[in-house]
Amino acid sequence: MEATSKPPQPSLSLPWKTRITLSILSAVTDASCRKNGTINRRILSLIDFRSPPTSKSINGVASHDVVVDETRKLWFRVYVPTQHEGDDLPVIVFFHGGGFVFLSPDAFIYDAVCRRFARKVPAVVVSVNYRLAPEHRYPAQHDDCFDVLKFLDDEENRSKSLPENANLLRCFLAGDSAGGNLAHHVAQRACEFNFRQLKVAGVVVIQPFFGGEERTDSETRLAGTPVVSVKRTDWMWKAFLPEGEGFNRDHPIINVSGPQAVDISEIKLPPVMLVVGGFDALNDWQKGYYEWLKKSGKEVYLFEYPNMCHAFYIFPELPESGQLIAQVKDIIEKISSNVATKFTN
């Protein structure tokens, strides 16, 4: 009797350059997180390389910054694909990752990511600089991101901030990690707001930062994989939640599909694209989010990368990074065609 061979098990597939970069990033971020819940941003500056806006096109993309509210340092960076000036373009409002604690739109890695989205999709990309914890706790981040939508919905603001061919009826909210959390919650909030000229057509949620009181199998089994660990996520959630309310990871802003979840069955949430990685310790929370969306009757598309860790797509040297951006392009085109049909009939 012939023995049946088992299919090969997925393995974390990263080149040494990427592994070393991830190790350095993890070490510096860990060193910046103090035991008393504050953060040493001077240490963070050692790896926080910034990119200025470029009014002249570089590799087919120009960028500029727009201030929404100086008092809370709320601003966004606009990326315009200059080779598509005559085309009707979707708008991607992008929320960066970093556990609600780190990074910004002008961080080198996110400036590069947004340039790739603008050029490859193509789309006008609006990358939001929201306030960070622990200096500013929830709901500051979610309020900032939603306020950018309201800012863009004003015709005078839109005309000064975006090119004429930016179509706000094809507005997509996108984000990774903490930005994925923001994309979901801001989209949910947008469903209950009466915008005049902006319509959230879809949501791109890349390896969202969700959690809960339970310790999941993926959190335990994938301990030691890059970027995410229970120790780090617990620190970030404590820095993020309002002081004086108690520390409960089943808060609906964290455990979106948990015991205190909002009933979204009657909310007209737009289609969601969800990306998960097989070596992301948040994998179980993300798949739970997928099942919750399906049970709530929502349109959701799941894209799995079994050999990838958290935040893999910010590394352009990985083939999977280019694959993900191509899939975002396909989903945006698919949803945009449906939106165009609805508005022309």
Which residues are known to be catalytic? Answer: 177, 280, 310
**Spacing of C-alpha 208 from chain mean position:** 7
Per-residue H/E/C for 246-281: CCCCCCCCCCCCCCCCCCCCCCCCCCEEEEEEEECC
Q: Are strands 74-81 and 124-129 parallel, antiparallel or unpaired?
A: antiparallel
Residue 10, token pair as written in the block: 């997925």
Q: What angle do CA 178, 114, 275 make, to 5 degrees?
A: 50
Q: Are strands 166-176 and 272-279 parallel, antiparallel or unpaired?
A: unpaired
Question: Which 3 state secondary structure label does DSSP give 298?
Answer: coil
**Tokens 């694959």 belong to which residue?**
323
Cα 220 to Cα 257: distance, rounded to the nearest angstrom: 20
Side by side, which strands form the sheet with 300-309?
61-69, 74-81, 124-129, 89-95, 166-176, 200-206, 272-279, 300-309
Task: Tell whether omega for the bond before 122 is within 30 degrees of 0, i.e. cis.
Answer: yes
Q: What angle do CA 118, 325, 144 make, to 5 degrees?
A: 60
**Spacing of C-alpha 109 from chain mean position:** 13
Cβ neighbourhood burial of 251 (10 Å; 0-12, 13-18, 19+): buried
**CA 236 to each of CA 95, 249, 251, 301, 309: distance values in angstroms, whole numbers, following the listed order:** 17, 11, 14, 28, 19
Evaluate whether 118 touches 89 at the Cβ level (below 8 Å).
no
Closest CA relative to residue 72, chosen from 12, 131, 8: 131
